[in-house]
Protein backbone atom coordinates (compact mmCIF):
# COMPACT_ATOMS: atom_id res chain seq x y z
CA UNK A 1 0.00 0.00 0.00
CA UNK A 2 1.47 3.29 -1.09
CA UNK A 3 1.18 6.27 1.21
CA UNK A 4 1.89 9.99 0.96
CA UNK A 5 3.25 10.51 4.49
CA UNK A 6 6.81 11.41 3.44
CA UNK A 7 5.56 13.62 0.61
CA UNK A 8 3.18 15.55 2.88
CA UNK A 9 5.69 15.77 5.75
CA UNK A 10 8.45 17.22 3.57
CA UNK A 11 6.04 19.63 1.85
CA UNK A 12 5.20 21.03 5.26
CA UNK A 13 8.86 21.20 6.28
CA UNK A 14 8.49 18.77 9.17
CA UNK A 15 11.11 16.36 10.42
CA UNK A 16 10.19 12.77 11.18
CA UNK A 17 10.63 13.55 14.87
CA UNK A 18 8.26 16.54 14.68
CA UNK A 19 5.58 14.49 12.95
CA UNK A 20 6.03 11.65 15.42
CA UNK A 21 5.60 14.05 18.35
CA UNK A 22 2.47 15.57 16.80
CA UNK A 23 0.96 12.11 16.32
CA UNK A 24 2.08 10.68 19.67
CA UNK A 25 4.17 7.90 18.12
CA UNK A 26 7.88 7.16 17.90
CA UNK A 27 10.12 8.47 15.14
CA UNK A 28 10.76 4.83 14.21
CA UNK A 29 7.02 4.36 13.62
CA UNK A 30 7.00 7.30 11.19
CA UNK A 31 10.07 5.90 9.41
CA UNK A 32 8.42 2.48 9.10
CA UNK A 33 5.15 3.93 7.78
CA UNK A 34 6.97 6.10 5.25
CA UNK A 35 8.98 3.16 3.97
CA UNK A 36 5.92 0.92 3.74
CA UNK A 37 7.27 -1.62 6.24
CA UNK A 38 4.45 -0.90 8.69
CA UNK A 39 0.76 -0.33 8.02
CA UNK A 40 -0.70 1.98 10.65
CA UNK A 41 -3.72 1.03 12.70
CA UNK A 42 -6.99 2.53 11.56
CA UNK A 43 -7.01 5.17 14.34
CA UNK A 44 -3.43 6.16 13.47
CA UNK A 45 -4.23 6.29 9.75
CA UNK A 46 -7.13 8.64 10.51
CA UNK A 47 -4.90 10.76 12.76
CA UNK A 48 -2.25 11.06 10.04
CA UNK A 49 -4.82 11.99 7.40
CA UNK A 50 -6.45 14.53 9.70
CA UNK A 51 -3.07 16.06 10.59
CA UNK A 52 -2.42 16.72 6.90
CA UNK A 53 -6.05 17.72 6.23
CA UNK A 54 -6.56 14.87 3.78
CA UNK A 55 -8.94 11.93 3.65
CA UNK A 56 -7.57 8.50 4.49
CA UNK A 57 -8.01 7.34 0.89
CA UNK A 58 -5.95 10.32 -0.33
CA UNK A 59 -3.19 9.62 2.21
CA UNK A 60 -3.11 5.84 1.78
CA UNK A 61 -3.67 4.16 -1.59
CA UNK A 62 -4.91 0.59 -1.07
CA UNK A 63 -4.80 -0.04 -4.82
CA UNK A 64 -1.01 0.26 -4.89
CA UNK A 65 0.30 -3.03 -3.54
CA UNK A 66 3.94 -2.35 -4.49
CA UNK A 67 4.97 -0.69 -1.22
CA UNK A 68 5.35 -2.95 1.76
CA UNK A 69 5.99 -6.09 -0.25
What does the domain layout of the chain look like in residue ranges? 2-56
Rounded distance between C-alpha atoms, residue 41 and residue 55, angstroms: 15
Who's near 19: CB < 8 A, 6+ residues apart?
A: 5, 9, 30, 51
Out of 2.60.40.420, 1.10.260.40, 3.40.50.10800, 1.10.150.120, the CATH code matching 2-56 is 1.10.260.40
pTM: 0.86
The one-digit pLDDT tens for each residue of the chain (69 residues) are: 899 999 999 999 999 999 999 999 999 999 999 999 999 999 999 999 999 999 999 999 877 655 444
Say how many CA atoms lie within 13 Å of 19 toward its Cβ. Answer: 27
Alpha helices in 1-69 (DSSP H): 5-11, 16-23, 27-35, 42-51, 56-59
Amino acid sequence: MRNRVREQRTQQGLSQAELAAALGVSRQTVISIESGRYLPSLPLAFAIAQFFDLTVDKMFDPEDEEAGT
